[in-house]
Structure 1
Amino acid sequence: MLSGHSAGRKEFHVNEDYDLFVIGAGMAGTTAANKCAAQGWRVGIVDALPYGGTCALRGCDPKKILRRGAEVIDAARLMQDKGIAQNGLSIDWAALMRHKRGFTDAVPQGMEDELTGNGVMTFHGSARFTGPNQLEIDGTEHRAKHFLIATGARPRPLSFPGHEHLIDSTDFLNLDALPPRIVFIGGGFISFEFAHIASRAGVDCVIIDHGDRPLREFDPDLVELLIQRTEQTGIRVQLATTTTRVTRTATGLDVTVDQGGKTFTIGADLVVHGAGRVANLDGLNLDAANIASGPRGVTVAGHLQCTTNPAVYAAGDAADTPGKPLTPVAVFEGKVAASNMLKGTTTTPDYTAVPTTVFTIPELNRVGILEHEAGNSGLDIDVRHNDTSGWYSNYRVGETTASAKIIIDKATDRILGAHLLGPGYGELINIFGLAIKLGLTSRQLKSMTATYPSIGADLGSML
Structure 2
Amino acid sequence: MSVQSFDLVVIGTGSAGKTVAEAAREAGKTVAIIDKQPFGGTCSQRGCDPKKVLVGAAEVIGRAAQLAGKGITAEPSIDWADLMAFKRTFTDPIPENTEQKFAGEGIVSFHGAATFADKTTIRVGDDELRAGHIVIATGARPRPLDIPGEELLVDSTGFLDLPALPAEIILVGGGYIAFEFAHIAARAGAAVTIIHSGKRPLEGFDADVVSFLVKAMEGIGIRILLNATVTAISGNDEKATVTYKQADSIQTVSANLVVHAAGRVADVAELALDKADIEAGKKGITVNKYLQSVSNPAVYACGDVADKGLPLTPLAGYEGNIVIENILNGNNRLFDGSPVPTTVFTVPPLASIGLTEEQAAEEGRDVIVTCQETSEWYSAKRINEPVSGFKTLVDRHTGQIVGAHLLGSGSDEVINLFALAMKHNLSASAIRDVLFAYPTHSSDINYMLPA
> Which secondary structure does the structure 2 equivalent of 1:320 belong to?
coil
Query: By how many angstroms is 1:232 displaced?
Result: 0.8
Q: Matches of 1:86 and 1:348 in 2, distance apart?
A: 55
Aligned to 1:14: 3
Query: By how many angstroms is 1:111 displaced?
Result: 2.0
**Is residue 427 of structure 2 the alignment partner of residue 438 of structure 1?**
no
Q: Matches of 1:439 and 1:131 in 2, distance apart?
A: 46
Query: By how many angstroms is 1:309 displaced?
Result: 0.9
Counterpart among 305, 323, 339 of residue 292 in structure 2: 305
Q: Which moved more, 1:45-54 or 1:375-384?
A: 375-384
Query: By how many angstroms is 1:462 displaced?
Result: 1.2
Matched to 1:45, the amino acid is I
RMSD of aligned residue pairs (Cα, Å)? 1.2
Aligned to 2:244: 257
Aligned to 1:71: 59
**Is residue 24 of structure 2 the alignment partner of residue 36 of structure 1?**
yes
Counterpart among 154, 161, 165 of residue 152 in structure 2: 165
Q: Matches of 1:29 and 1:249 in 2, distance apart?
A: 38
The C-alpha deviation readout for 1:328-347, integer Å capped at 9, x for no partner, is: 11110111001000001242
Matched to 1:43, the amino acid is V
Aligned to 1:4: none
CA contact (8 A) 2:152 2:236 kept: no
Query: By how many angstroms is 1:122 displaced?
Result: 1.5
Q: Matches of 2:408 and 2:259 in 1, distance apart?
A: 26
The C-alpha deviation readout for 1:120-155, integer Å capped at 9, x for no partner, is: 112212211111111112111111000000000000
Aligned to 1:270: 257
Q: Matches of 2:97 and 2:396 in 1, distance apart?
A: 50
Aligned to 1:415: 401
Matched to 1:57, the amino acid is Q
CA contact (8 A) 1:184 1:271 kept: yes
Counterpart among 101, 117, 127 of residue 114 in structure 2: 127
Matched to 2:212, the amino acid is L
Aligned to 2:233: 246
The C-alpha deviation readout for 1:345-396, integer Å capped at 9, x for no partner, is: 2421213120011111111111011112112222211112232211111111
Counterpart among 73, 76, 83 of residue 85 in structure 1: 73
Q: Matches of 1:232 and 1:43 in 2, distance apart?
A: 52
Counterparts of 1:189-228 in structure 2, within 5 Å, are 189-228=176-215
Q: Matches of 2:434 and 2:94 in 1, distance apart?
A: 38
- For the structure 1 residues 297 and 250, does the alpha-carbon distance in structure 2 shift closer, same or farther, using more than 3 Å as the test? closer
- For the structure 1 residues 356 and 72, does the alpha-carbon distance in structure 2 shift closer, same or farther, using more than 3 Å as the test? same
Counterpart among 428, 434, 446 of residue 448 in structure 1: 434
Aligned to 2:45: 57
Q: Matches of 2:439 and 2:263 in 1, distance apart?
A: 39
Query: By how many angstroms is 1:210 displaced?
Result: 0.8
Aligned to 2:368: 382
**Is residue 135 of structure 2 the alignment partner of residue 148 of structure 1?**
yes
| Structure 1 residue runs of 4 or more that deviate by more than 6 Å after TM superposition | none
Q: Which moved more, 1:377-386 or 1:44-53?
A: 377-386
> Which secondary structure does the structure 1 equivalent of 2:285 belong to?
strand
Q: TM-score normalized by structure 1? A: 0.95
The alignment-based identity, stated in percent, is: 47
Q: Matches of 2:365 and 2:193 in 1, distance apart?
A: 40
Q: Which moved more, 1:374-383 or 1:21-30?
A: 374-383
Aligned to 1:460: 446
Matched to 1:186, the amino acid is G
Aligned residues: 449
Q: Which moved more, 1:32-41 or 1:243-252?
A: 243-252
CA contact (8 A) 1:129 1:135 kept: yes
Q: TM-score normalized by structure 2? A: 0.97
Query: By how many angstroms is 1:119 displaced?
Result: 2.2
CA contact (8 A) 1:388 1:403 kept: yes
Counterparts of 1:271-286 in structure 2, within 5 Å, are 271-286=258-273
- For the structure 1 residues 399 and 117, does the alpha-carbon distance in structure 2 shift closer, same or farther, using more than 3 Å as the test? same
CA contact (8 A) 2:287 2:307 kept: yes
Q: Matches of 2:237 and 2:292 in 1, distance apart?
A: 52
- For the structure 1 residues 182 and 320, does the alpha-carbon distance in structure 2 shift closer, same or farther, using more than 3 Å as the test? same
Counterpart among 200, 217, 224 of residue 237 in structure 1: 224
Q: Matches of 2:58 and 2:15 in 1, distance apart?
A: 27
Aligned to 2:322: 336
The C-alpha deviation readout for 1:202-230, integer Å capped at 9, x for no partner, is: 10000000111010110100111111111
Aligned to 1:100: 87
CA contact (8 A) 2:180 2:344 kept: yes
Aligned to 1:356: 342
Query: By how many angstroms is 1:179 displaced?
Result: 0.8
Query: By how many angstroms is 1:249 displaced?
Result: 6.0
Q: Which moved more, 1:114-123 or 1:430-439?
A: 114-123
Structure 2 gap segments, 5+ residues each: none
Query: By how many angstroms is 1:78 displaced?
Result: 0.2
Q: Matches of 2:196 and 2:395 in 1, distance apart?
A: 34
> Which secondary structure does the structure 2 equivalent of 1:184 belong to?
strand
Matched to 2:14, the amino acid is G
Query: By how many angstroms is 1:85 displaced?
Result: 1.2
